Structure 1
Amino acid sequence: MSRITSCELMEWQAARRTFTLLDVRREGARAADAAAIPDARWFDPESVFTWKDSVPRDRPVVLYCAHGHEISQGIAATLEAMGLDARYLIDGFSGWRDAGRPIQRL
């Protein structure tokens, strides 16, 4: 399964690379943080089988959850099995925030 570091994601953003960024944190974790990575779309991880077919297939997709473990890795594996170029963000949103990367308030 593919993964991406926060440094690589910053490089993709700076280069204006075309990709889809999905926030798949549980609703409670997202609300507690009250912030997100800029330009991310939130999808409820509990409803992945409802929204999975709406993810664009013509570009890479980067997923992040709170810590980069089960949720984002599991959904990335599901999307990868569907033929998408899916990656999860190592260390998730907490690693992104702790590294001082840009965030936007919700």
Structure 2
Amino acid sequence: MINNLFSAVSAAAAQEHFDELLRRPGLRIERIVSQGQASPTGFWYDQPQGEWVVLLSGSAGLRLAHEPSERVLSPGDFVEIPAHCRHRVEWTDTSAPTVWLAVHFDAV
């Protein structure tokens, strides 16, 4: 069976959509589709596992707590977020779906 990361990407969803693509011990891969969503004001992710994320389409602002400003991501940009690195999504594209591929892995 062949699957496609861009299948069933719909425009203007009210909420982000998360699809788990693969799960193995110590590893989880998911597709995230956003359109205009952002982390709630004052909210920071603080995950016990590491995360590697690549932006496949759209655009987004990603903020890591220890950095002075957000990183603006475009298609092809990727970031490794270490375990317990506080981070948040400042904004995502409002005019087209933003598709992320996120790889969550146990810290070594």
TM-score, normalised via structure 1 length: 0.27
Q: Select the structure that is richer in helix.
A: 1
> What TM-score, normalized by structure 2, do the two folds share?
0.26
* Structure with the largest fraction of strand: 2
